[in-house]
Amino acid sequence: MPAHIIYASQYLNFSEKTNRSQLHRLTGVDPVRTEWCAAFVNAVLEKNNIAGSNSLAARSFLEWGESTDQPQRGDIVVFTRGNSNWQGHVGFYLDTVEYNNKIYYMILGGNQDDKVSIMYYPKQLLIETRKIKMLPDTESIFL
């Protein structure tokens, strides 16, 4: 299990209202007033000595890391959201499941139903899957 997923998991079920101050300390943004999925991903990465996108935009991760067609646990996934080309959602890939002949990605992320949670997103909403660029000095971050 990647270390950053273990780290992110400690925040599961933290709500933007109930755990507002803890999430604010982690992400640097007020989760009640800011779309915070990218802030959560960036904070988790940075706490694990992995450079993030340094942006609050989910789609900023489209240029982050390396593209992959074979998602692995811990990779970053970016999905469409709304009808605009700038909107999106970003989280950590955990698994792929099939239900009623449709493919879903299991995602650990922030601002999913206003909390840190694991949710299933239809693969058809996927824009891109990105993996961490492995550098010799960062390989030790995984367990």
Q: What is the DSSP letter of 2?
A: B
For the full predicted model, state whether its pTM sits above 0.85.
yes
Ranges of each domain in the chain: 3-133
pLDDT digits (tens, 9 = 90+) for 56-93: 999 999 999 999 999 999 999 999 987 777 789 999 99
pLDDT for res 137: 47
Which residues, at least 6 apart from 64, have a Cβ–Cβ distance to it below 8 Å? Answer: 52, 53, 76, 130
pLDDT digits (tens, 9 = 90+) for 89-136: 999 999 999 999 999 999 999 999 999 999 999 999 999 999 987 655
- Is the CATH code 3.90.1150 the one for domain 3-133? no
